[in-house]
Structure 1
Amino acid sequence: MNTPEIHARHEAEIGALPSTVYELVTNVSLWPVIFRPTVHTQVLERSVEGDRFEIWATVSSGEVNTWRSRREFDAVGRRVTFRQDHDNPLFGLMGGGWTCAPLDGGRTKVVLEHRFTPPPDQADARERIVRELDSNGAAELEALRTVSVLPGGVDMWRLTFTESVGLTGSAEAAREFIWDADRWPERLPHVTGLELVEQKGGAQDMTMQTRAPDGTVHTTRSVRVLLSDGSIVYKQTRPPRALLGHSGRWDFRSDGSGSSISSTHTFLLDPAGVAEVFGPDVPAQQASHRVRAALSANSRVTMEHADLYSAAAGANR
C-alpha cells in the first residue's frame, strides 16, 4: 500500500519587491547567515535555469541533517521549484516551491509549499514532519521579512573575509586541534569555557565563552560539521547581539609548497543590534570593520596556536 503524499503551505507578506525576495531565495550561499536552520550549503551545479546543492540544517531537536536538492528557476514568474535527490531519513521524499508574488506598494506575498511522502516505516512521521515544516517555514519567512528590508540592501550589511597562516607542522595536526574544541579552554587564551556535545552523525553542538580585549565575556553557541574534504564548517546558532547571522569555515591545505590553515567568516549585521552595541550613529561600514577586527583577532590566535600544536605533534613523531 502506497503512503499518500501530504502537502503543507506557509505564506507571509513582506515589505520588499518580489525581485529582492527572489534573489534571497535563489542565492543559497547566503542561507547560513539568513535562515536560522541552515548550517552550511554547497553548490554542486548552477545555471540560469536552476541549481543543485547540498545543505546541512538543524531540526527542532538541534541535530544536523543533510540532503541534496535540485531546483528550477522561473525568473519571470519569480518562482523556484525544488525536489530532493533521494529520500531523506527524517522527511521521506520531499519537494515544493517558493513563489514571490507582487502586491501593491512594492510588497510581496511569499508562499512556501512542501509536498512529501513520509517514510513508510515511521508511524508518527506525518505529525513530526508537519511540526518541523511549521517551525522552519515560519522561521524562514520571518528571516526573509527581516533581511529583505535591510536599509541599502543585504550587501551593505554582509561581509565575507578569509585569512591564512602557514603551518610548521602538518595540516592533519592543525585539523585535530580545531576539531578538539573541548580542549580549547586549556589551549586558547581567549576561551574561558566551552561545552561540547557530539551529535549522532558526527556534528558538534558547541557553547563557548570568550573574553574580549576589554575584558567582557561573551557566550555564543555554534553547530559544527566535519566535511568529507576535511574542512570544518560551522554556524552560530546564538550569534552576538550585533549580528543577524554568522557562519564560518576552517580549511587545511597541504601540498608541495607546504601546509596552511585558513579561516573564513561570513556575517550579516543587525542594524538594531549595531545601534545597541556600537551606538546609533555608527554606520554599517564602521560596524563591519569592528566586527571583522574582533573575529579576525580570535581566529588568528586560534590559527597560531594550531600551528604551535602541529609543530609539537611533528616533533614528537
Structure 2
Amino acid sequence: MNEVRHTITVAAAPETLYTLLADATRWPVDFRPTVHVEQLERPEQDGGSERIRIWALAGDTVKTWTSHRELDPQGLRITFRQEVSQPPVAAMSGAWRLTALADGGTEIALDHRYRAIDDDPATLAWIAGVTDRNSRAELANLKASAEQADTRAAGRLTFEDTIMVEGGRSADAYAFLYEASRWPDRLPHVSRMDLTEDEEGVQTMEMDTITAAGDRHTTKSVRVCFDGERIVYKQTVLPPLLSAHTGQWRVRAVDGGVTITSEHTVVIDPAAVTSVLGDGASVAGALEFARNALTGNSRITLEHAKAFAQGNLAPAPGS
C-alpha cells in the first residue's frame, strides 16, 4: 500500500469541522471535486457506520465508488474504505483526523492508503496526482467553509419549482430531461449543447444559454442520471457570480399525471458581486438575481418538458 498525508491548519473549532465532514451530502456544494453523494446506509446514532456512494472528478473524468465510513465524534475522526474501487485503483482507504490547537484552531490531517491495479508505476503516478490535487482542493474548501461559515451561509440558497403535467407519462418527462443533447432544438434559451456520456448515466455537458437581455453564457456540468426518477448535476464551469451551483430534476408519477421539479442550490461569490451587478449591490441582492435568472430558465424547461410529455412540443424558434 502507498501512504500519503495532507494537512492544513484552520481557524475554527474541531467540532465545527467534524460537522462539515460528517454530513457527506453537503460535499458537492462544499468540495469542488465532489459531484454527488448518495447516503446508502445511515448511522443509527451520533457516530457509527454508514455507507455512501460518491461521484467525483478525477482529472478530466468522473469516477464513482461506494465507501464504508466509521464516524467517531468523540475522537474527532472519520475513517473510510472503498468497498469496490474503480480502475485503475485497486484499493483505497484513509481517515480524516482533527486535532485541537492551543489557539482554538484545528489541524486537519487527511490520510490515504492505496494500491494500483498490477502496481503499474504509471498508474500509481496518476493516482498520486489525482489524490494530491483532490486532497488539496478538499482541504482548502473545508478551510474556507469553516472560516467563512457566516458569510457562506448568508450567500447560500436552495429553491425549487414544480409543474404538474396532467395526463402525461413520467417516462416521457424524464426522457426530455435526459436527452439534453436535443435541447438546442427544443428549448429557446439553449443555443449550443456539447454532451458526452462515456459511462451510462454519467453525462458531461457544456452549454451556451441566452439570457432575456441577449447575453450568452457558457456553463459546464456533470450530471448523474437515475433512470426514470431524477437527474442530479453540478456545474463545474460557473457564471461569474457563483462559487457553487448544484441541482436536480425530479420526476414523480401522481394521480392524474406527473410532477416535474427543478431544484437549485447556489452559493454567491462575494468578491464578484459588485463587478457583476455594480456598485452598491449586496449578497442578498445577488441571491435574488441568481434565483430569478435560474428560475426563469427552469420554468422554460419545465413548460417544454410538460408539452413534450403531453405530446404538444413545438420546435424551438430557428430550429
TM-score, normalised with respect to structure 1: 0.90
For residues 128 and 167 of structure 1, do their structure 2 counterparts lie closer, same or farther at Cα, with a shift above 3 Å needed? same
User: What per-residue deviation string (whole Å, max 9, x for no partner) do you get for residues 104-131 of structure 1?
Assistant: 4433221111112322375533222111
Query: 1:229 Cα shift?
Result: 5.8
1:42 and 2:38 correspond: yes
Number of paired residues?
309
Of 117, 127, 130, which residue of structure 1 is paired with 2:125? 127
What is the CA distance between 1:278 and its match in structure 2?
A: 2.8
* Separation in structure 2 between the aligned mates of residue 84 and residue 229 of structure 1, nearest angstrom: 28
String of CA shifts for 1:167-211, please: whole Å, max 9, x gaps. 242121121111111221221111122211222344221111112
Q: Which residue of 2 aligns with 1:300?
A: 299
Partner SS state of residue 292, structure 2: helix
Distance verdict in 2 for CA 1:24–1:153, change over 3 Å = farther
**Residues 229, 253 of structure 1: CA spacing in aligned structure 2 closer, same or farther, 3 A cutoff?**
same
Counterpart in the other structure of 2:108: 110
Would the alpha carbon gap of residues 256 and 151 (structure 1) be closer, same or farther in structure 2, given more than 3 Å must change? closer
Which residue of structure 1 lines up, in the alignment, with residue 264 of structure 2?
Answer: 265
CA-atom RMSD in angstroms = 2.1
- Structure 2 residue ranges without an equivalent (≥5): 314-319
Structure 1 runs of 4+ aligned residues shifted over 4 Å read none
Amino acid of the residue matched to residue 182 of structure 1?
Answer: S
Which residue identity lines up with residue 54 of structure 1 in the other structure? R
1:206 lines up with 2:214 in the alignment: no
Gaps of 5+ in 1: none
TM-score, reference length from structure 2: 0.89
Could you tell me which residue of structure 2 aligns to residue 163 of structure 1? 161
| 1:143 and 2:141 aligned | yes
Change (3 A) 1:46 1:285: farther
Q: Deviations over 1:241-270 (max 9, x none)?
A: 222211111111114342121111112222
- Structure 2 CA distance for partners of 1:92 and 1:201, relative to 1, 3 Å: farther
The separation in 2 between residues aligned to 1:106 and 1:238, in whole angstroms, is: 36
Separation in 2 of the partners of 1:81 and 1:229? 34
Rounded to whole Å, the distance in 2 between the matches of 1:271 and 1:77 is 35
Q: What do residues 146-168 of structure 1 show as CA deviations (whole Å, max 9, x unaligned)?
A: 22222515432222222211124
AA matched with 2:231? I
Q: Tell me whether 100-109 or 170-179 shows the greater mean CA deviation.
A: 100-109
Q: Is the 8 A contact 1:148 1:154 kept in 2?
A: no
Match of residue 14, structure 1, among 10, 16, 28: 10
Q: Contact 1:63–1:200 at 8 Å: present in 2 too?
A: no
Identity of aligned residues (%): 39
The alpha carbon displacement at 1:14 in A equals 2.2
Which shifted more, 85-94 or 48-57? 85-94
What is the deviation of 1:280? 5.8
Which letter maps to 1:55? I
